Structure 1
Amino acid sequence: MSIRNVVFFGSSGGGKSSVINMFLGGEIRAPISSGKIGCTFESKSYDTTIENTRYHLYDTPGLNEGLECRTSAKEAIGNLKSLIRNLSSESDGGVNLLVFVFRSPGRLTDIIEEDHRTVYEGFCDKKVPIVMVVTGLEDEVPTMNHWWEKNREKFEEKKIRFVDVACITATRGRLAEDNQRHRYDEEYNLSVTLVKKLLVKNCRHSGWRKESNNEWIKGSWKWIRKHF
């Protein structure tokens, strides 16, 4: 059975680990941070099988963490570069899908734009499909997808494009008064379905591999220097 490599990236606190846990059958395996300080200090892989296909889901350190955070932005982007470099080698099967995780409410800043371009353009040469998962939408009305309808134009103005988008909640919320269910059970269960469909639909069968290691290293460092 072939294995497909999926890389999750985004700012600290965006919900990458929570989204990955949605693929793991309710098992809390990827550690989750409760605030702005990230708790993922290096890339970690979690395995899952969907529709008889195996996936390696890579949780990566949060990008653009501030001075108060334990993982510096430079270390995070370097870690992500190394992960993509290793995956795109002949032995590791390539990169099949990029998942950009963005938490609402949040502003679409120049830093987020640069993160998207650095990973999609600089590290993957625009040759790996990229999707976005927007978290924190449990109270969005009339539906969670309404957020994308309101904000899609802002991304397009900055030429930040995705092949697909899932608007979700990555939490069940607190227990309801009857202690039999959680406040956002319905939205959460729908969200699990949405992220799995997003993965299956957009993950390429064959992974992308860099053509020239030396040229790739030079190009990737150019993008990192633009960050710092």
Structure 2
Amino acid sequence: MHFLPAFLRKDSKASLVNDLLKKIAHEDPLSDKDVFNVVIIGQTGVGASSLINTITGFSQVPVSTDVSPCTKSFTAYPFTLNGRSFRLIDSPGFGSFKCPTSAITKALRELDTQFGIDLVVNCLRGTRGDANAGYQNYTAIRSAVSDDVPIVAVITCLERYGETMDHWWSTNEADLKARRMVFADHACVTTLDASTTRDAMFKDRLFESEKAAKQLIMRNCWAEKRGVGRWARRGDMFLGN
């Protein structure tokens, strides 16, 4: 009989989320029970890691300057907003041969099963890209997490969009729905580093993006966090039940 969860056993198979699961498992359950788990995910190079830096206001998450992946495994960044505690969980990007979709999907399922995912932020590039990849990524996410986990969209790379950033959504939402990509909510943003330009409009958009992303999280993590019974389940696992 095993007395430890599978992801803590020495012989467990390596997973993209193993280190994060171990870290959460060793945290104090009482202090951790009100922390919302928010997964930030998207195609490689779409700006998911940069979005975390935009939300927190700190350049703490490594980002890449091209389509090469910079996130190798699921990594959590603690964040407090309006008195609530969050883990902003950065994910390896879809589309990398080093992190196949099957591995990312498995990791998402493990995280949701063990500790509960409260929100998935699916980042999509606002510029012209591979629409099929966007649908495939959305389908992979939806298949990996519980039906009651909301998936919201953040549209990135809108720093040079000709209209207001949210205009992108009103123009393209119907197309997303036609591709069977239905989101609970959305935000339209830019995540480029402010130090890359002195343009006043861009800086205004960056400020607007930070505000929009934070409001998106608060709107969709307003109720009691999901999976309150998981603490009992964790105890059962350690007791071998």
State the TM-score, normalizing by the size of structure 2: 0.75
- Equivalent residues in 2 for 1:104-123 (5 A)? 104-120=126-142, 122-123=143-144
- Match status 1:189 vs 2:220: no
Q: 1:201 aligns with which of 200, 214, 219?
A: 219
Unaligned runs of 5+ in 2: 1-30, 234-241
For 2:229 and 2:133, locate their aligned partners in 1 and report how far apart those are by CA, in whole Å.
25
8 Å Cα contact 1:95/1:209 also seen in 2: no
Change (3 A) 1:96 1:7: same
- Equivalent residues in 2 for 1:36-51 (5 A)? 36-51=67-82
Q: Compute the displacement of 1:173 (Å).
A: 5.8
Kindly name which structure, 1 or 2, has the bigger radius of gyration based on alpha carbons.
2
Change (3 A) 1:119 1:82: same
More helix by share: 2
For 1:207 and 1:33, locate their aligned partners in 2 and report how far apart those are by CA, in whole Å.
32
Q: Compute the displacement of 1:209 (Å).
A: 8.4
For 1:95 and 1:210, locate their aligned partners in 2 and report how far apart those are by CA, in whole Å.
13
State the TM-score, normalizing by the size of structure 1: 0.79
For 2:129 and 2:228, locate their aligned partners in 1 and report how far apart those are by CA, in whole Å.
33
- Match status 1:31 vs 2:62: yes
Q: Deviation digits for residues 99-141 of structure 1, max 9, x if unmatched?
A: 0011121335223212111211x11142201100011111213
- Structure 1 residue ranges (4+ consecutive) displaced by more than 6 angstroms after TM superposition: none
Q: Compute the displacement of 1:195 (Å).
A: 0.1
- Equivalent residues in 2 for 1:132-211 (5 A)? 132-171=153-192, 172=194, 174-176=196-198, 184-203=202-221, 204-208=223-227
Change (3 A) 1:80 1:8: farther
- Match status 1:62 vs 2:80: no
For 2:160 and 2:117, locate their aligned partners in 1 and report how far apart those are by CA, in whole Å.
34
For 1:20 and 1:58, locate their aligned partners in 2 and report how far apart those are by CA, in whole Å.
9
Amino acid at match of 1:111: A
Q: Give the stretch that moved more between structures: 37-46 or 196-205.
A: 196-205
Query: Partner of 1:85 in structure 2?
Result: 110
Q: Give the stretch that moved more between structures: 159-168 or 107-116.
A: 107-116
8 Å Cα contact 2:111/2:117 also seen in 1: no
Unaligned runs of 5+ in 1: 214-228
- Secondary structure at the aligned position of 1:23 is classed as helix
Change (3 A) 1:142 1:106: closer
Change (3 A) 1:119 1:175: closer
Q: Deviation digits for residues 119-164 of structure 1, max 9, x if unmatched?
A: 11x1114220110001111121320111111111110111111111
Q: Percent identity?
A: 26
Q: CA RMSD in A?
A: 2.3
